[in-house]
Amino acid sequence: MISIIIPVFNREAFIQYAIESVLRQSMQFFELIVIDDGSTDRSAEIIKHFVKNDSRVHYYYQPNSGVSVARNHGLAKAQGDYVYFLDSDDFLDESFIKTSFDAAEEAEADLVVVGSGYESRLPSPMALPTCAQFWKHDFLKKNRDIQFPVGIQPGEDGLFSHFLLTKTDRIAFNGQGIYHYRSHEGQNHRKAADDGDRTIEVIKKWFELLRTFYEKESFFSTKSLHLAQFVAHEPFEYRYLRTALSDEQKQTLMDLIQNFFKQHIQPYLGLNDFNKLGEPFRYFLQSSSYVDFDTFYGDWKIRRTKQLKRNLFLLKFIPVKSYRKRMRAQFREEFSLLQS
């Protein structure tokens, strides 16, 4: 059985579509756990309608406590062999659960990375959004001390996956899983992206959680590259490069990232592993100021964009379809970053 968990807070416009997408799954052996995080709109009324008509749908209420508490609440209620978290404003393709289950069973995996857009992060992803995480429940139970961090948003899903990914390399991939993502103004991560000061405060909390976890597990020496890749991906690429920051905020964030790297990663990271990090991030770590880096990055983007266009053209002549597909996804992900 699969446990599908949906946290909900004031999503009356979307929750019906999310639930219906689960009920339409080609694999019908599931339980749907909906955690109402103190909604004040019609969300509860809509959910309870499904509860009355389908015994697989379960409704739980909690006072408004945030998405991490809601997901942890749902995980505590889950009875399935596998666990998947669906956001209440999104929906799934009909074969999503079946193809993910098949991939997990075939590979005896602790985690299935779902969605063709995430193939470029394999074989060793450093973090994943919830939409790409299909977990074996026994693995989560063995690591029950790892939960979604409370009071952290955005990035709670990335930290959750990052911590768990230090514990396993039994990872499979399902490129057939199609997740329908809705983008709208009410999303919490979009609100956070518009507030540079809030972003910086959240990243301070990320770094404290990372330091505490790696110290507790004695992972600094053995997982230094994994940690470095997380810092490169989340606070650097997705926050410094993609968030609208003032000059002062840019310098503050640069100082935070550089200091964390020097204290907790650099002493353990060999030169070969350091060179596995992207060129912009390596330059960022050694930059004297945000002005120095931004000047370099502007020139680098122009050069890299031209190179990616050439590479995409040359991919047409590579006969191995699987390699061609994987590289195309990787190039497009980088293009997306360059356009931001």
Rounded (10°) CA dihedral 241, 249, 258, 122: -30
Q: How many Å apart are CA 79 and CA 76, to the nearest integer?
A: 9
Indicate if the pLDDT at residue 175 is higher than 90: yes
Tokens found for residue 138: 């026994």
* Residue 119 pLDDT: 87
Indicate if the pLDDT at residue 189 is higher than 50: no
At 188, is the pLDDT very low, low, confident or very high (cuts 50, 70, 90)?
low
* Residue 179 pLDDT: 95
Average pLDDT score over residue span 25-44? 97
Among 40-54, 142-156, 258-272, 319-333, whose mean pLDDT is lowest? 319-333
At 338, is the pLDDT very low, low, confident or very high (cuts 50, 70, 90)?
low
Please give the share of the chain, as a percent, with pLDDT higher than 90: 81
* Residue 192 pLDDT: 52
* Residue 307 pLDDT: 79
Pick from 162, 11, 32, 24: nearest CA to 86: 32
At 35, is the pLDDT very low, low, confident or very high (cuts 50, 70, 90)?
very high
CA atoms in the 13 A half-sphere facing the CB of 111: 28
Start-to-end CA distance of the chain, whole Å, equals 40
Indicate if the pLDDT at residue 335 is higher than 70: no
**Alpha-carbon distance values, 49 to 20, 53, 86, 271 (Å):** 12, 7, 19, 58
Indicate if the pLDDT at residue 311 is higher than 90: no
Tokens found for residue 273: 């592993």
Q: How many Å apart are CA 118 and CA 125, to the nearest integer?
A: 9
* Residue 22 pLDDT: 98
User: Does 66 or 184 have the greater pLDDT score?
Assistant: 66
Pick from 211, 225, 219, 334: nearest CA to 274: 225
Average pLDDT score over residue span 295-309? 87
Angle at 229 between CA 204 and CA 332, to 5 degrees: 110
Angle between helices 290-315 and 321-339 in degrees, nearest 10? 150
Spatial contact of 209 and 147, defined as CB atoms under 8 Å apart: no
Q: How many Å apart are CA 157 and CA 195, to the nearest integer?
A: 19
CB atoms within 10 A of CB 259: 11
Average pLDDT score, the chain: 92
Longest dimension (CA), the chain: 62
Peptide bond into 235 cis (omega under 30): no
Spatial contact of 5 and 67, defined as CB atoms under 8 Å apart: no
pLDDT, tens digit, 9 for 90 and up, residues 108-159: 999 999 998 898 889 999 999 999 999 999 999 999 999 999 999 889 999 9
* Residue 186 pLDDT: 58
Spatial contact of 59 and 34, defined as CB atoms under 8 Å apart: yes
Pick from 14, 18, 69: nearest CA to 186: 14
What is the DSSP track for 37-53?
ES--SSHHHHHHHHHHH
Would you give the DSSP letter of residue 234?
I
Average pLDDT score over residue span 48-66? 97
Give the three-class secondary structure for 58.
Answer: strand
Tokens found for residue 304: 């890299």
SS3 per-residue string spanning 73-98: HHHHHCCCCEEEECCCCCEECCCHHH
Residue 77 CA from chain centroid, whole number: 22
* Residue 194 pLDDT: 62
Spatial contact of 149 and 68, defined as CB atoms under 8 Å apart: yes
Please give the share of the chain, as a percent, with pLDDT higher than 70: 94
pLDDT, tens digit, 9 for 90 and up, residues 63-96: 999 999 999 999 999 999 999 999 999 999 999 9
CB atoms within 10 A of CB 255: 12
Among 7-16, 149-158, 192-201, 295-304, whose mean pLDDT is lowest? 192-201
Non-local CB neighbours of 249 within 8 Å, separated by 6+ positions: 196, 197, 199, 200
